[in-house]
Structure 1
Amino acid sequence: MTPARPAPTTAAVTVVGIGADGWDGLPDASRTALREAEVLIGGPRQLNLVPPECAGERIAWPSPLRPAVAGLLAAHPGRRVAVLASGDPMFHGIGRALAEEADAIDVLPHPSSVSYAAARLGWPLEDVDVVTLVGRPTARLAAALHDGRRLLVLSADAATPGEVAELLRDRGFGTSRMRVLEQLGGAKEHASAETTADDWPDAQPPGDPLNIVAVECRRAPDALRLGAVPGLPDQAYEHDGQLTKRHIRAATLGALAPAPGELLWDIGGGSGSIAIEWMRTHPLCRAVTIERDPARAERITRNADRLGVPGLWVVTGSAPAVLAELPTPDAVFVGGGLTAPGLLDACWEKLPLGGRLVANTVTLESEALLADAYRRHGGELVRLAVAHAVPVGGFTGWRQAMPVTQWAVQKTLNTPSGADR
């Protein structure tokens, strides 16, 4: 259950979106708000776009920005505050943070750079995936790479286009078409010639830092195909054998049932496949994986970067000892360490109403624990078996993998809490 958000403590502010066209591109309402403001807050670039006739005290955002928002707004009680933002403040902009901290916000948006880019390219926005790399690792772009998809990448700076090209080449998308659009909507607007990531020149000098990268994804025929649903090929992972195999993984994610914004605990991470594919289901899905082996923990981090979810939180330690410091999960997966004393009970205790718990095992000892948990808490107890066709002399036969026992349960008011059912 998500805790209630604390009540905002600062006065209302006006948030004014401004584009590369500066003051000339603002409507009358936005100009009036900036003229009447006693305090103007924004980045140096935005503040420089406002003429001297706006006489309010000018304050540039510090770095890092997000932790400073509440204090900076609270420092001006009773004064008319206007915050400058690029384009549409509520689209990957400062508007989110202000909405969380101010008593109220009055937003005066400007067309976003994404809207300008779609207009210039003739791309319907509803058919485009937008990925922001502002303050985020380039690796997160990998999760959006699907053959035939169009992407608009919000750049962090002038170096971003080159980093995008490098990632596309590395992930088997070197034939993807790229264009860089700079200073959209302004007098210095410029679009590069279309080229491929393979042909993007490494020695090309950086362009304007205010840019968007347009990508039409093209996967190389020999590149590993990664779909949009759980059950990625096992070859997608670096591992030492500790990997929930593809078919079992797909069934496990189905039982966990990720939804946008939810948090997963992945206990006994191994190669991180469950947590990684949980996060790949939606950009807002979050996960923390617990792995006691440092080498495996480092491997999980590499897999997460490779597969486009660098935000995966990897905790090196043993459960249940490390669980006390973690935020409340919406779902828990136990893929290893089931015999650790008190682990299942600790997970059940931390799970909120509506939360799901899924545990897999291949050993008789752990299976006995799952049977006992099923007796006490209900849910579903199933055995999953997979066989693969393999050569048998000159013929083909089935090779059975070790069967997996899976317990899956949702915690509700009617779920038995510990006594026999």
Structure 2
Amino acid sequence: MTGPKKWLAVIGIGEEGQAGLSAAARSLLEQAQILVGGRRHLGFLDEGDRRERLVWESPLQKTIDTILQRRGQRVCVLATGDPMWYGIGATLARQIPLEEMTLIPAPSAFSLACSRLGWPLADVDTLSLCGRPADLLLGYLYPGVRLLLLSGDRQTPVIVAQRLTEAGFGESQMTVLERMGSPEERLIQGPAATWAHEDLANLNTIAIEVRGENQQRRCVPGLPDGAYCHDGQLTKREIRAVTLSSLAPQPGQLLWDVGAGCGSISIEWLRSDRRCRAIAIESHPQRRQYLADNAAALGVPYLEIVAGKAPDVLADLPQPHCIFIGGGLTTPKVLETCWQALPPGGRLVVNAVTVESEQTLFQAQQLWGGELTRIAIQRAQPLGRFLSWKAMAPVTQWSVWKE
């Protein structure tokens, strides 16, 4: 019994065009009946080539559907650099079995940029801003970090320079590398704060050496309270750090943040790993605006925000791995609905500050187990010429793993 036929080839191609292709890639290209790519990619082919061509449309899925309709014919997709690194190869692999595909990468823009700059690629953070919000950059900014960004177009470097400057990293050194591998290759450098280069090619990659100081940029949970816009409904820094530790985020997991307030828990959950996902449930319109603003400012603009009250809005949400309840605990059926939504091995963490909500937690702990912890924090504050301890409202936390 033979396996499925490989009918789709996805080939990385650089600015050298066909001359830079390997023998295997050139053979697949020659055998193809249908050629797919952007106008720039297809422009690398001979003018006399009369084979059928498909140019990527918007939305992209429209062309992918056409490719799927040609299953069984020999289709060749031309892509920039490495198709599996922020490329079309990764998109196609989610819809087409790997057994039906052949993938041949060329050097990625990141590899080429590192070869020009002498940067070890293993020590560099990478990000694509092609069709993605520029606010994503804000989640990558730490003093001393080296970043490589794929640009959306010639305007992206100006936007990046503005974001860096606004975030307190205007000293950062930016390098824009244009059309690497072509005779028109060019390298432009300058600090973000005074960046004024606008005559750029649409095909460019941005390298950044992040410089500057910003105390709100931390890799660990517990950002300063001042990092958030809020109306007082904020899980304070010390409590937030303990809560994230109890939630124990893992890459790719989904969090429900029920009664999210300004979103500090779900935002720091997302910041713990770029593959984490979160849904913030909040009924108050002003707090939802704070949620959106804070998520963008702290580099996680993809935080999903759901308007409404639990438990009513929970029924249609995707199943979570973890749930945090920070508000609305005494609303009937909230705790029971959240518990039922968790899969085996899921985690539930609840913070309570009122006697009534503490009673609810005690009853739940008797029923489902888990740990009850009381967290009391005091901060030193001026009292005349001296310092005095001022106690924050104590928080009772219930943390439980569902068996």
Q: Aligned match of 1:374 in 338, 341, 365?
A: 365
Aligned partners of 1:47 and 1:395: how far apart in 2? 74
Aligned partners of 1:53 and 1:347: how far apart in 2? 63
Q: CA deviation at 1:62?
A: 1.4
Counterpart residue type for residue 204 of structure 2? N
1:45 aligns with 2:40: yes
Give the aligned partner of residue 89 of structure 2. 95
1:109 aligns with 2:102: no
Give the aligned partner of residue 173 of structure 1. 169
Residues 143-165 of structure 1 show CA distances to partners (whole Å, capped at 9, x for unaligned) of 10000000001101110000000
SS in 1 for 2:143: coil
Counterpart residue type for residue 27 of structure 1? S
Give the aligned partner of residue 231 of structure 1. 222
Give the aligned partner of residue 184 of structure 1. 180
SS in 2 for 1:349: helix
Give the aligned partner of residue 20 of structure 2. 25
On the 8 A contact 1:69/1:98 being kept in 2, the answer is no
1:296 aligns with 2:287: yes
Residues 191-218 of structure 1 show CA distances to partners (whole Å, capped at 9, x for unaligned) of 01x21111112xx434101101110001
Q: 1:69 to 1:332 in 2, by over 3 A?
A: farther
Give the aligned partner of residue 69 of structure 2. 75
Aligned partners of 2:359 and 2:59: how far apart in 1? 51
Across the two proteins, how many residue pairs are aligned to each other?
Answer: 398
Structure 1 range deviating more: 77-86 or 240-249: 77-86
TM-score by length of 1: 0.92
Give the aligned partner of residue 374 of structure 2. 383
1:208 aligns with 2:204: no
Give the aligned partner of residue 419 of structure 1. none
Q: CA deviation at 1:43?
A: 1.5
Aligned partners of 1:12 and 1:379: how far apart in 2? 53
On the 8 A contact 1:37/1:54 being kept in 2, the answer is no
Q: CA deviation at 1:171?
A: 0.4
Q: CA deviation at 1:363?
A: 0.5
- Unaligned runs of at least 5 residues, structure 1: 1-8, 413-421
Q: Aligned match of 1:125 in 111, 114, 121?
A: 121
Q: CA deviation at 1:35?
A: 1.1
Give the aligned partner of residue 51 of structure 2. 56
Give the aligned partner of residue 305 of structure 1. 296
Q: 1:241 to 1:105 in 2, by over 3 A?
A: same
SS in 2 for 1:304: helix
Give the aligned partner of residue 193 of structure 2. 198
On the 8 A contact 2:7/2:73 being kept in 1, the answer is no
Give the aligned partner of residue 159 of structure 1. 155
TM-score by length of 2: 0.96
On the 8 A contact 1:23/1:51 being kept in 2, the answer is no
SS in 2 for 1:318: coil
Q: CA deviation at 1:167?
A: 0.1
Give the aligned partner of residue 234 of structure 2. 243
SS in 1 for 2:350: strand
Q: Percent identity?
A: 48
Q: CA deviation at 1:395?
A: 2.3
Q: Aligned match of 1:339 in 330, 333, 341?
A: 330
Give the aligned partner of residue 35 of structure 1. 30
Aligned partners of 1:87 and 1:129: how far apart in 2? 18
On the 8 A contact 2:5/2:72 being kept in 1, the answer is no
On the 8 A contact 1:265/1:331 being kept in 2, the answer is yes
Aligned partners of 2:131 and 2:6: how far apart in 1? 27
Counterpart residue type for residue 43 of structure 2? N
SS in 2 for 1:325: coil
- Unaligned runs of at least 5 residues, structure 2: none
On the 8 A contact 2:283/2:308 being kept in 1, the answer is yes
Counterpart residue type for residue 352 of structure 2? T
Structure 1 range deviating more: 49-58 or 334-343: 49-58
Q: CA deviation at 1:389?
A: 0.9
Q: CA deviation at 1:73?
A: 2.4
Counterpart residue type for residue 145 of structure 1? L
On the 8 A contact 1:11/1:77 being kept in 2, the answer is no
Q: 1:402 to 1:112 in 2, by over 3 A?
A: same
Counterpart residue type for residue 219 of structure 1? G
Q: CA deviation at 1:69?
A: 5.7
Q: CA deviation at 1:61?
A: 1.6
SS in 2 for 1:59: strand
On the 8 A contact 1:382/1:405 being kept in 2, the answer is yes
Aligned partners of 2:362 and 2:332: how far apart in 1? 16
Q: CA deviation at 1:224?
A: 3.3
Aligned-pair RMSD on alpha carbons?
1.5
